[in-house]
Structure formats: C-alpha cells, structure tokens
C-alpha cells in the first residue's frame, strides 16, 4: 500500500515535469499558428530594421520571411520580435520565438551549452573599430588606453578584451545595452572608439552627427559568422530553417531568381528541378510542400538578391560580396547540394 502511494506520487511528479515541457514540434506549431515568430534586433540597418510604419527590412528579416514563405506560403506571415543582444537567447530557449535571426555569431558555447543550434551562415562578418579622426590613430594597435563603446552580451565584448589583452594594451570598456546607446556614447565622445561587427560600422558612421569626424580602422580582429538559430532537439525544424537558406544559396548558384522562377519551372536542369520541386521530393522529406522553394524565390528571392537588396553596393551599407560571394565566384558561400 505504502509502496503504491510512493509510486503514484512519483508518477505525478514525473507528469508534472512532462506537462510543462514544450513539445519539440516547432514546425507543427508554426503551421497551426499560421505565423512565424522571428527574433530580430531593435534596429540595425541592412540586417533588421523597422521603418516608421513598422515594416521590417534587412537580410536577417528576409531570412525569416523565406522560412515563412517555405512553411506557410506567405513571406508576410511573420511576427518580428525585437530583442537586445542580452535578451535573445533566453527568448529562443523559452519558446517565445521560433527562430532567432539577429546578427548572431555562431560560437561553440552558444551551439552547445545554451541548448541552441545554428542552422547556417547568412553573413560572414568580422569585428572592426570606428575611431574619431581627430585622435590621429591609424591602426588598431595604437589604441592603448582608449575608451571603447560596445554592447553588453555580445561576442564583440569578448573579442575586444581578447584583442587588447593579446596585444598588452589597456582599455576602458563602456558597455551599453543597446547599439543605439553605444552609438550615442561614441557620438558624445564618451568613447574614443566604437567597436562592432564591421558590416555595421559604415552604417553607424553615416548616422553620426559628423560622419567625417570618424573613420574605420583597417584591422578585422575576429570571425563573426552570423546566422539563424533554433532550439536544440527539434531536428525537423532545424532542417527546415537550414535548408531554406541552403535553397536560396543553391538557387543563386543555378541562376534561379525571383524574376525568372516561373520560367525556370520548365527548366531541364535536374539541379534546378530538384530545387523547385518539379522533380524529386525534397520538400516532402523536409516536412514541407515539394515546391516550397518556389514560394521562397518568388516572394523573397535567392541569396544574392537578398544581399543586394539589403546590404549590397546600392544600399546605404554599400557592402561588397567579398567573402560572402558564392564559392564559384571566389567567396566561401557553399551550400550542400539539393538531392
């Protein structure tokens, strides 16, 4: 009798534990909700930024839109949730968002002990310095004793410490919780240097009260592969987010764009056929429709289009493809094959 009571109460405790455990089927949840919840930044030109009407744009935003197009057939079925650097991982772990697409660097700790998975890289970045011209500094190695503005909870903060320590230099880290505040601190002369992922420095510079008064130093002090992140332990969803981006990169490689996707449906190239689902069952095995990439390409476009539209040479960021070019063009963008 006593034993049964004990077993019963143990079973109850076990159930309690199970009851609150989120079910690991994010794909089904997103389909049921009819909407993808996507964690983005509070506003970072070219990556994720809202305009005055609350419409989000940026390469990180498009990465989420592509997933929504693939899963729900509608690139607008996304709810964007702005997060600071320090909030982002907890938001994903707790299930507040389905995917984090917020210029987040892929690192060992984040990939393992945080219980997260990076699905790929949508922008290869590196950390750099923006410095006041008046200081007459030419190189990052002349920064001994400088005050540096940066943002809390980023790899930026850690790389900064590593760089100064490795080069035996002193610094003063002025750490803010939003990039807006750190930019203001730099503008206000609280810091001599602003440090962040290099892609941001050009845009930040244009927003200063006197852009001519600041310049970007030549040194890149770190590797920052930025990409979408999902929760660990949900392989189906992990695969979906991963292969939507791979699909966009492959589409660029095989010349499929938003403009020509309807013509390409008649393409005889088996690679293109598999991407567009006219041949094979790539969509089905991922848990999607076979033509999921058609919606992605029609509504968002391939990787190159996403790049040009948000951060490319014709945008305020004015970035070259560089490392982010396809492997066939001298870059390191290389997506596994669709087959």
Partner 1 sequence: MNSNDLPTRPGRPKPWNDPRVRSVAFQILAALAVGWVGYSLFQNTIANMESRGISTGFDFLDSTAGFGIIMSLIEYDESMTYGRTFLVGLVNTLLVSGLGILLATVVGFIVGIARLSTNWLVARVALAYIEIFRNIPLLLQIFFWYFAVLGALPGPRQAVNVGDLAFMSNRGIMLPAPVFGPGSGWMGIALIAALVGVFFLARWARRRQAATGQIFPVLPIALVVIPGLPLIAYLATGMPVTWDIPEMGGFNFRGGIQAIPELGALLLALTLYTASFIAEIVRSGITSVSGGQTEAAAALGLPARRILRLVVIPQALRVIIPPLTSQYLNLTKNSSLAVAIGYPDLVNVFMGTTLNQTGRAVEIVAMTMAVYLFISLAISLLMNIYNRAVALKER
Ligand X SMILES: N[C@@H](CCC(=O)N[C@@H](CS)C(=O)NCC(=O)O)C(=O)O
Binding site for ligand X (CB under 6 A): 41-44, 84-85, 103-105, 151, 154-156, 178-179, 196-197, 200, 224, 226
Q: Give pairs for 174-177: CB < 8 Å, separation 24+.
A: 174/147, 174/148, 174/149, 174/150, 175/150, 175/151, 176/149, 176/150, 176/151, 176/152, 177/84, 177/85, 177/86, 177/151, 177/152
Binding partner of 42, given ligand X, partner 1, none, CB within 5-8 angstroms per partner class: ligand X
Segment contacting partner 1 by CB under 8 A, of 69-77, 86-94, 251-259, 313-321: 86-94
Q: Which is nearer to partner 1, 100 or 249 (CB)?
A: 100
Q: Which of 115, 80, 121, 79 is nearest to 103 (CA)?
A: 121
DSSP code for 125:
E
Among the listed residues 34, 218, 233, 313, the single contact to partner 1 using CB under 8 A = 233
Residue 196 contact partner, candidates ligand X, partner 1, none, CB within 5 to 8 A by sort of partner: ligand X
Smallest distance from the beta carbon of 131 to ligand X, in angstroms?
15
Count the alpha carbons within 13 Å of 189 in the hemisphere toward its beta carbon. 5
- The one of ligand X, partner 1, none whose footprint includes residue 164, by CB under 5 to 8 A per kind, is partner 1
For position 29 contacting partner 1 by CB under 8 A, the verdict is no
Q: Does 81 bind partner 1 (CB under 8 A)?
A: no
Return the number of the residue (40 or 272) whose C-beta is nearest ligand X: 40
* Residue 91 lies near partner 1 (rule: CB under 8 A): no
CB 272 within 8 A of CB 228: no
Is residue 138 classed exposed, middle or buried when 0-12, 13-18 and 19+ CB atoms within 10 A define those classes? exposed
- 41 makes contact, choosing from partner 1, ligand X, none, with CB < 5 to 8 Å by partner type, with ligand X
Site for partner 1 in 139-168 (CB under 8 A): 143-147, 152-154, 157-158, 160-162, 164-165
Half-sphere exposure of 78 (CA within 13 A, CB side): 31
Note whether 21 binds partner 1 by CB under 8 A: yes
Of these partners, ligand X, partner 1, none, which one is at the site of residue 119 (CB under 5 to 8 Å by kind)? Answer: none
Q: How far apart are CA 65 and CA 62, in angstroms?
A: 5
User: For partner 1, how many residues bind (rule: CB under 8 A)?
Assistant: 50
Q: Is 20 in the site for partner 1 (CB under 8 A)?
A: yes
3-state secondary structure of 248: helix
């Amino acid at each position: 009798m006593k034993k049964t009571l004990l077993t019963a109460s143990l079973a109850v405790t076990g159930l309690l534990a199970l009851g609150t455990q989120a079910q690991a089927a994010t794909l089904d949840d997103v389909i049921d909700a009819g909407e993808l919840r996507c964690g983005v930044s509070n506003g970072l030109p070219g990556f994720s930024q809202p305009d005055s009407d609350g419409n989000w744009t940026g390469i990180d935003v498009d990465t989420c839109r592509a997933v929504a197009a693939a899963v729900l057939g509608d690139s607008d079925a996304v709810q964007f949730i702005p997060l600071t650097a320090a909030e982002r991982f907890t938001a994903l772990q707790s299930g507040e968002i389905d995917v984090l697409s917020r210029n987040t660097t892929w690192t060992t700790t984040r990939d393992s002990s945080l219980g997260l998975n990076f699905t790929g890289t949508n922008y290869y970045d590196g950390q750099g310095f923006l410095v006041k011209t008046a200081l007459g500094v030419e190189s990052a190695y002349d920064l001994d004793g400088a005050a540096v503005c940066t943002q809390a909870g980023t790899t930026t903060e850690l790389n900064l410490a590593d760089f100064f320590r490795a080069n035996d230099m002193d610094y003063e880290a002025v750490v803010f919780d939003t990039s807006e505040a750190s930019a203001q601190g730099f503008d206000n002369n609280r810091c001599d240097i602003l440090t962040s992922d290099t892609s941001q420095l050009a845009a930040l510079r244009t927003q200063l009260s006197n852009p001519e008064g600041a310049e970007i130093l030549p040194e890149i002090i770190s590797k920052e592969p930025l990409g979408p992140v999902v929760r660990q332990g949900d392989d189906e969803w992990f695969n979906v987010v991963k292969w939507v981006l791979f699909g966009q990169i492959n589409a660029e490689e095989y010349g499929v764009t938003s403009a020509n996707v309807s013509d390409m449906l008649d393409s005889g190239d088996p690679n293109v056929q598999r991407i567009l689902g006219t041949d094979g069952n790539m969509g089905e095995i991922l848990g999607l429709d076979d033509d999921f990439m058609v919606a992605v390409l029609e509504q968002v476009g391939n990787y190159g289009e996403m790049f040009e539209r948000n951060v490319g040479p014709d945008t305020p960021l004015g970035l070259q493809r560089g490392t982010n070019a396809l492997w066939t063009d001298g870059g390191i963008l290389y997506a596994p094959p669709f087959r």
